[in-house]
Structure 1
């Protein structure tokens, strides 16, 4: 896989046979295997592994609980006797009597009821073919190819991807009943394995394509160049178009063989991995799966979880507690689990494979519970577009706040906001998004007017002086304080002057609800907008002006201003809340519960509560529905630590209630049946996780 992140492939042209995952036409006459829960195991093979014992690997997969084997098939090296002159046969195939690893694996797996999917990697070619076909290769702004360990990177605009890839797929399909395909690292290779940024490709194919895409604009050199955002959109569209062609080709040749790629493929791919030097976002897997399932709930997601620490350290196994979070977060949000190792299990018996097998078998044994598992939360959190990196801290702070206050929520990418059925949510949260795409702004306004609740933080829905969203309770932006100096020492008053109490809406703090009595003042961190309220808007959290913060003798003099840090108003049948400051970033960077509660109280007040519980904030609640009924995952996050996951501490028995909860609840991990009394269920002690099922 690529060094740190999995590639996002953007939109692709829908295949003639319908949307990804949809059963139409002749496909409707037979079940598509990937529409049922499945479990994958990937052996990412070195060329010296071509002689592996197929039966030994299959024995391991069966015991592990996997029913699908992702096997290295072709591309950089062909693990079958290819006859294509632009492909390279693995020389170590000579170790096999048949000379054909793929053929041996497919035949043996078929006898065992295991599916084989083909891992293809067209991202690089050897020196000989690069010299013969320079038009296939990545070229930097200086005209040089990108060479790494003797292999030359290929450009998706060139004919190796656009033409030759399909010839390889046809050769494999002509010979073997492969059950699906995954194309590794299908990208423009801006970043190599050493994480060096190599800039934008300037090959002749890219130059011609870009000239047609953006007439009059020159290709940028790299991410700091003018026009880079335009090039990123261009590159996404090139990859999207190619992805669509691959999917269409497979649908014609072998409809029962899905394509695993981006969010418009048959199966959406997410790689859960670690990386040295990358700050750990503990919720990365859950966020990614939720974003995919919220956008297209019926399309399967595969979370391929990396069993080693980082790409340069492929011999070092991942910490078991860390790896467990990949799989638990994945299945809780409705993804299919996959474990990815280098070589074979015999060669690399990583320490994390024990817990990986336990969780994989759990998923296998609860087939009905995970069949069709999709999102069922009533709060929607919008994830900022990749071109708004400054909003990420805001998003993460609000994400943490909702998790800790036990508000179940789904995530949707900002670029998909107009394509999601917003009406199924009671509250939509916009985290410091700035201006929205026109279609997204129209969708949010229509949702609010129809009865929904919108909670906007920071500058969401604001462009310069203009308030873009009609639902927001302000007429214009008067000023913006968006530097450290401009907000330093700026505070908001959470309670009337002279009143001491909890910062939340409830007013009085108590030990049981985790609130802390404070002095009624919270700091602003990041940015604060001065806005002009609409007539009739309810105002609160009035600002206290900045004052000296140096020697204590001079630390006084804050003036009470009329600038609101919270505005509320009705809009049509709905209501909107505007928090024109970066409350999420403040919580992410400072961690005051008062900041967290100010935000979450507005979400609950606007959209209504969904779950009540005595669980501590270290437990995440994920709400879903599947063929079995209502499914509630309780994830023990007490092991979330600095740059790692430690062993979670056991959580004592407590209670949980959910509107409409009656009868009896199954706790799958403990094996208990829990009666519902007066709308509440008494929970068992919580270990790594628990799954509660209210059968339909």
Structure 2
């Protein structure tokens, strides 16, 4: 009898893994046709969630992938593990039914794990597993404690939890929420510092040859740079172990998270931000950044429905979610949406019709999404994957200027330049917005690109952690790094470069500017005027020439490197005055006159134009280039503080550099042919009316 029971138990444990191998398609995520809906379930909804109604709604929304809670912070299934807190509202195995019913409808199921926190009952038993700030504080949320990555919970228990779930359910993938080292209490917006847990101390000492953990995040500090290398090493090592475990159980299970190593799907997020100005290009930013930086991965950018962590039950406006989802598709990602809880009894259903419309559009025209190749000749370097602070403002302002000028550009993360040398040398211009530090590999690749003929524009205090590089690239020697520019003016006196300032001889300044000795530069410009006198009109004036210049150009063979030591991007991002936009565009056009010639249009600046080379996304298509595809996204409804319905835009003339005469030009969404002419390598046509979104296909 014992032998029979043993064999039956072994068979039961073996069957789920066997079922996974039989019911999933090889590399199902690689088609890049994801239409994800995530139900972020509060604990109490485990008692009421109805698998039948959930799957009915997913089908109605045209979703092909579900992300749903499984374990980590708490188990949404009947766990048997002592170190896994079980959700007390789980009275039945609803997860089993959800997976089965989704599979019946051809919907993949990715289960969510969050190993960043443990329930207080686990903390009380194992306080040494948890985060400890430099001040000796714990990072907590009600009833939860943040863990330390190098402690036993993450290093050992997490693998047991993943194994248990994969042994029970024939899932199609796992999603890891909040991986990595925690320095912020994200849900409270509070910075707490580098984790000083004993497990972290011991492991860093072993990694560094006995050094103590840093307590301050300072990129210019060698110890902190070593700590960054330590974080990468430990995260990669953990990710590799998890990847090995998951793929050993089911090679066709996708791993999805926010990091790039040992994952199949890189996830990003577009969230509502309570600060102004609004940033309507968030999804475009995220997909462009991750997709260009990590071209061998599938990117899935999640539109987070909630307004904030404190207001999860209120959703963003339908117009905002439309822009996010359209940008996802236009820039080469699938669709991804994170909802708070079950689709039934939802507290804010205003977006449901919008979701149904856009997900249905993606399903209907699926062959035209997901297989794009960038045609951009300009790269903007991003200050990481989650930019913040003043570098973020500078970076966003640069993007906004290029977007409104309808100039195609790619985005690459600063710390990944070392891995993208193949791509960098093909750009005509690289823009470095206020990024002070590049690692040695990044510097090497930047120099190689310049030597290959790529021009460079850097702004504000970019590269100031490397004085030798500043001198080599720009002929610049620092005099003063931080100066409040309020009250200063620039003079656009060189009208051979600054051709668009008729009627203006002084351009106002604000924020920071750096002062340099540019005596080793080949050319200088933009004289700086002194602050002068403030007060009533009778006494103002005195804006004398200081002798400092706000532009330096140094020649490097066929390439030019330009330093603009003020906040060109931040000025435009926060204030919106056209003069700061025009400074950058004039400099860009001076060093690369063809910058605005890939796409020539009279479109309103708030019409986003995304031009890509495309290949039909069907299994049968082996051709990598079927022609060009142009996405037009109407942002005219983005107001100072609101997302409103966009105004129709009429008679948009478009001149697209194609290099071939198209076999046909089609307005994809209405199926009508578009009249066009072809001359001198350009396709010429008119988009008669743009409402919220339009796609024009130019087939070879």
> Is the aligned partner of 1:195 residue 2:184?
no
Q: Equivalents in 2 of 1:140, 1:520: separation in Å? A: 53
Q: Equivalents in 2 of 1:231, 1:645: separation in Å? A: 42
Deviation at 1:546, TM superposition (A): 4.2
RCO higher in structure (CA 8 A, sep ≥6):
1
> Is the aligned partner of 1:530 residue 2:519?
no
Aligned-CA RMSD value: 2.9
Deviation at 1:295, TM superposition (A): 0.9
Residues 429 and 190 of structure 1: is their aligned pair in 2 closer, same or farther, counting only changes over 3 Å?
closer
Q: Equivalents in 1 of 2:192, 2:518: separation in Å? A: 46
Q: Is the 8 A contact 1:435 1:468 kept in 2?
A: no
> Is the aligned partner of 1:136 residue 2:129?
yes
Q: Is the 8 A contact 1:654 1:683 kept in 2?
A: yes
Q: Equivalents in 2 of 1:86, 1:461: separation in Å? A: 47
User: Equivalent residues in 2 for 1:229-248 (5 A)?
Assistant: 234-248=230-244
Q: Is the 8 A contact 1:267 1:301 kept in 2?
A: yes
Match of 1:597 in 2: 582
Correspondent of 2:442 among 427, 431, 440: 440
Residues 255 and 597 of structure 1: is their aligned pair in 2 closer, same or farther, counting only changes over 3 Å?
same
Q: TM-score, normalised by structure 2?
A: 0.85
Deviations 1:36-87 (A, max 9, x none): 1111111112333334221211111111010011111122332322222222
Q: Is the 8 A contact 1:383 1:413 kept in 2?
A: yes
Q: Is the 8 A contact 2:471 2:477 kept in 1?
A: no
Q: Is the 8 A contact 2:461 2:481 kept in 1?
A: no
Residues 390 and 241 of structure 1: is their aligned pair in 2 closer, same or farther, counting only changes over 3 Å?
farther
- Count of equivalent residues: 647
Q: Equivalents in 2 of 1:366, 1:504: separation in Å? A: 47
Residues 216 and 518 of structure 1: is their aligned pair in 2 closer, same or farther, counting only changes over 3 Å?
farther
Q: Is the 8 A contact 2:288 2:410 kept in 1?
A: yes
Q: Equivalents in 1 of 2:496, 2:56: separation in Å? A: 56
> Is the aligned partner of 1:398 residue 2:398?
yes
Q: Is the 8 A contact 1:441 1:469 kept in 2?
A: no
Deviation at 1:614, TM superposition (A): 0.6
Residues 150 and 603 of structure 1: is their aligned pair in 2 closer, same or farther, counting only changes over 3 Å?
same
> Is the aligned partner of 1:686 residue 2:693?
no
Deviation at 1:278, TM superposition (A): 7.6
Q: Equivalents in 2 of 1:459, 1:124: separation in Å? A: 38
> Is the aligned partner of 1:619 residue 2:616?
no
Q: TM-score, normalised by structure 1?
A: 0.86
Structure 2: segments with no counterpart, 5+ residues? 1-20, 617-626
Structure 1: segments with no counterpart, 5+ residues? 1-25, 497-502, 510-515
Worse-superposed segment, 392-401 or 585-594: 585-594
Match of 1:62 in 2: 59
Q: Equivalents in 2 of 1:566, 1:191: separation in Å? A: 38
Deviation at 1:205, TM superposition (A): 0.8
User: Equivalent residues in 2 for 1:569-588 (5 A)?
Assistant: 569-588=554-573
Worse-superposed segment, 538-547 or 288-297: 538-547
Deviation at 1:379, TM superposition (A): 0.9
Deviation at 1:263, TM superposition (A): 2.5
Q: Equivalents in 1 of 2:418, 2:231: separation in Å? A: 22
Deviation at 1:476, TM superposition (A): 3.2
What's the secondary structure of 1:683's corresponding residue? Answer: strand
> Is the aligned partner of 1:180 residue 2:177?
no
Match of 1:9 in 2: none
Deviations 1:660-691 (A, max 9, x none): 26333222234332232243111131122222
Match of 1:567 in 2: 552
> Is the aligned partner of 1:342 residue 2:340?
yes
Residues 195 and 436 of structure 1: is their aligned pair in 2 closer, same or farther, counting only changes over 3 Å?
closer
Match of 1:44 in 2: 40
User: Equivalent residues in 2 for 1:42-441 (5 A)?
Assistant: 42-50=38-46, 51-94=48-91, 99-141=92-134, 143=136, 145-192=138-185, 193-214=187-208, 217-219=211-213, 234-261=230-257, 262-264=259-261, 265-276=263-274, 280-348=278-346, 350-385=349-384, 389-420=389-420, 421-441=423-443
Q: Equivalents in 2 of 1:419, 1:659: separation in Å? A: 30
Q: Is the 8 A contact 2:334 2:370 kept in 1?
A: no
Q: Is the 8 A contact 1:492 1:543 kept in 2?
A: yes
Residues 217 and 175 of structure 1: is their aligned pair in 2 closer, same or farther, counting only changes over 3 Å?
same
Deviation at 1:228, TM superposition (A): 6.6
